[in-house]
Amino acid sequence: MGCWTTSCDFGHLKAHSKVSVFFTMILIFIYLFYCLTGYCDSMPSPLYVHQTFRSKLFLKEGKKLAHWNGSIVRELPEQDATDVEDEKRQRGLGYDTYNNLSVSNNFGTKEFPKAIIIGVKKGGTRALLEFLRVHPDVRAVGAEPHFFDRFYEKGLQWYRNLMPRTLDGQITMEKTPSYFITREAPSRIFSMSHSTKLIVVVRDPVTRAVSDYAQTLTKNSSLPSFQNLVFKNSTTGLIDTSWSAVRIGIYAKHLENWLRYFPLAQFLFVSGEKLVTDPAGEMGRVQDFLGLKRVVTNKHFYFNQTKGFPCLKKPEGSNRPRCLGKSKGRPHPHIPADVLHRLRDFYRPFNMKFFQMTGQDFGWD
């Protein structure tokens, strides 16, 4: 028996509608499945860590990479390489060091840093950053971006994209110790923001120079002796200020360059020595300077006798304390006492000027 054209068409349309609904439901199910497993950005998946095949290959080969938002930005030069814990933090997720919780980067916005640790190398900048990351209102880049000294031509948008996402009330931070001695860095940071807070971790320049030399020696065992590098002429005792290990410690000279752009009130000078002997005290000053509640206190620290510096106590949910990597606290080579004495004499007037400029006496002889 035939059927009326209208009723046949209605039957076909009804069947077609069921098929459409069926396929739509399948697509929705697949979409939700991928979102819940972390393959899309529409629905955050806090426990998923995306790692590309390329990053797995590099990590297998023992190379350290800078990761931001699941993408490899660049291979880190040796001096920028962070430890394994930092590597974990940078694979596309924020990471709360103390609470051991990963946080999806789909929350919050990327902002330029409100504060930058600008120096100095071998002063204690890594320790300061790790201690600060305990604070729930601090979000910081783990690896050193080196934007204002090496990658400025990439532009501010590239720089901001390196930053972790922050929520209201949180502050974005980064640290690159070489900024302090880079002549162009102050004007470049000033162009980004006039109100950026600047933190300088300083240490006895003589001890700092020896530590700098010790680090370089681990990378180049054929390096000349410290005394051969520190003097232009060993007979006259004239110090070679062209050697970076010496030049970095002339803090007053570098600070003069920064004060051309930023008022002293926007600087905080942290004692590298007190960061070891009284980490909670120095961290109190840092938190006050940043306008943060004093969350990081004595209860977070213990002194590691083997390493010779403080470590963070075992976070909840972690099976071990949080200490800096094996490259920190390395033994220093023996330097003749007369060499150290001459170097101390060289630094003394610069130290006095630095104390006067900052209004702080760091107690270096």
Q: Which residues are annotated as a binding site for 3'-phosphoadenylyl sulfate?
A: 122-126, 203, 211, 328-332
The answer to whether 320 and 314 have CB atoms below 8 angstroms apart is: yes
Q: Does residue 122 carry a catalytic annotation?
A: yes
Residue (of 45, 39, 97, 93) closest to 71 by Cα position = 93
The answer to whether 95 and 155 have CB atoms below 8 angstroms apart is: no
The answer to whether 177 and 125 have CB atoms below 8 angstroms apart is: yes
Residue 168 C-alpha from the chain's centroid: 21
Helix (H, G, I), strand (E, B) or coil at 158: helix
Of the residues 64, 110, 122, 197, which is catalytic? 122
Q: Region of 282 please: left (phi>0), alpha (psi -120 to 50) or beta.
A: alpha
Residue with tokens 């990053």: 55
The answer to whether 95 and 84 have CB atoms below 8 angstroms apart is: no
Contacts of 239 (CB under 8 A, 6+ apart): 230, 231, 232, 246, 342, 343, 346
The answer to whether 120 and 181 have CB atoms below 8 angstroms apart is: yes
The answer to whether 244 and 79 have CB atoms below 8 angstroms apart is: no
Give the span between the Cα atoms of 70 and 93, in whole angstroms: 7
Q: Is the dihedral of CA 315, 318, 319, 322 positive or negative?
A: negative
DSSP secondary structure code for residue 99 in this structure: T
Which amino acids are annotated as binding site, given as ranges? 122-126, 203, 211, 328-332
- Which residues are identified as catalytic? 122
